[in-house]
Amino acid sequence: MSIKVALAGNPNSGKTTLFNALTGSNQFVGNWPGVTVEKKEGKLKGHKDVALMDLPGIYSLSPYTLEEVVARNYLINERPDAIINIVDGTNIERNLYLSTQIMELGIPVIMAVNMLDVLEKRGDKIHINKLSEKLGCEVVEISALKGTGIRDLANKAVKLAESKKKNTVVHKFANEVEEVIDETKGLLSADIPEEQKRFFAIKLLERDEKIREIMRTVPDVSKQIDKLEKAFDDDTESIITNERYVYISSIIKDCVTKAKSDKLTAS
Ligand code: GDP
Ligand code: K
Ligand code: MG
């Protein structure tokens, strides 16, 4: 039986560099069915039964670009055994926006904080144990370019994939938001596994039309949307985006130490 691991991250996070380092020449390049978005799959070096899938670079699991739709449909429909979420360590705040969404899919996640060589040169420090605790997933530091940490990452990703452990979200948004998410989860049909419910509930609350297309039954969540929008005097999509940034700020405060303040080095 073969294992599938997907590589997901922002554009320029080092996905292709890591993919090439982990698969060598053992790759197949094509297009995703029906669209001109590149599809790349390879065999993980040293693990002959493990396929690595390079997903399109994306900033969000929203439905606004072809790349986002391709990546999320793959993750939802194919359900890889694990996701390697690669983030640019020099731009971690921005990259974590996608990560907070990937954590909600219920698929086991390991985070690879890339560009370790640049971080070290700058004297910046990412406290990976803390980051791991706050995200609820394993975190490793790598330099995809220099090859640092990538064997360890691959071994851990394979172990995680084999474990079949479902990912659970450790972070909670504001109480009023969590209450409405729970209510919405309760309306979802039984064919949606428990660990995937948060993702679908949030997408429905965000009025994501494209997610409705891939759900067998779509509950009416207009009451829940109303309740949230009245409570916050804002639209649900903005409310949830804001909750993600509150969470990300708390992560940055606890997990990142910069040698020089951004304010002093602004250029
Ligand atoms: P992708 O868009 O996510 O596929 O990113 P790429 O793999 O194309 O990498 C974007 C740029 O970052 C390229 O110029 C890479 O050489 C560079 N890069 C990737 N990983 C590292 C790394 O660990 N350290 C450094 N210094 N540069 C890297
Ligand atoms: K770059
Ligand atoms: Mg690339």
Mean pLDDT by 10 residues, the chain (267 residues): 92 96 85 82 93 95 94 94 98 97 96 98 97 97 98 98 90 97 97 95 97 94 98 98 97 94 58
The residue count for the chain: 267
Strand-pair category, 3-9 with 27-31: unpaired
pTM metric for this prediction? 0.95
- What angle is formed at CA 14 by the lines to CA 9 and CA 20, rounded to 5 degrees? 110
User: What's the pLDDT at 184?
Assistant: 98
**Which residue, of 163, 185, 210, is where some domain finishes?**
163
Ligand with minimal distance to 18 CA = 1
User: What's the pLDDT at 1?
Assistant: 56
Distance 14 CA to ligand 2 centre (A): 8
Give me the number of domains the chain comprises.
Answer: 2
The beta-carbon contacts of 217-221 under 8 Å, at least 24 apart in sequence, are 217/189, 217/191, 219/184, 219/187, 219/188, 219/189, 220/187, 221/184, 221/187
Ligand 1, residue 15: give the atom nearest the CA. 3
At 224 the three-state DSSP class reads helix
265 part of a folded domain? no
Q: In which domain, by residue range, is 187 found?
A: 175-253
104 part of a folded domain? yes
Indicate whether this complex's ipTM tops 0.95.
yes
Q: Is residue 196 located within the same domain as residue 217? A: yes
User: What's the pLDDT at 27?
Assistant: 78
User: What's the pLDDT at 78?
Assistant: 92
**Tokens (6 digits) for 174:** 């504001």
Nearest CA to ligand 1 atom 6: 14
Ligand 1, residue 142: give the atom nearest the CA. 23
Q: Quote the CA–CA distance of 57 and 128 in Å, as a whole number.
A: 23
170 part of a folded domain? no
Radius of gyration of the chain (CA): 19
User: What's the pLDDT at 193?
Assistant: 93
Q: Is residue 159 located within the same domain as residue 181? A: no
Asked whether 84 lines ligand 1 (CB < 6 A), one says no
Query: How far is C-alpha 164 from the chain's CA centre?
Result: 17
Q: Is residue 210 located within the same domain as residue 159? A: no
Q: Is residue 41 located within the same domain as residue 150? A: yes
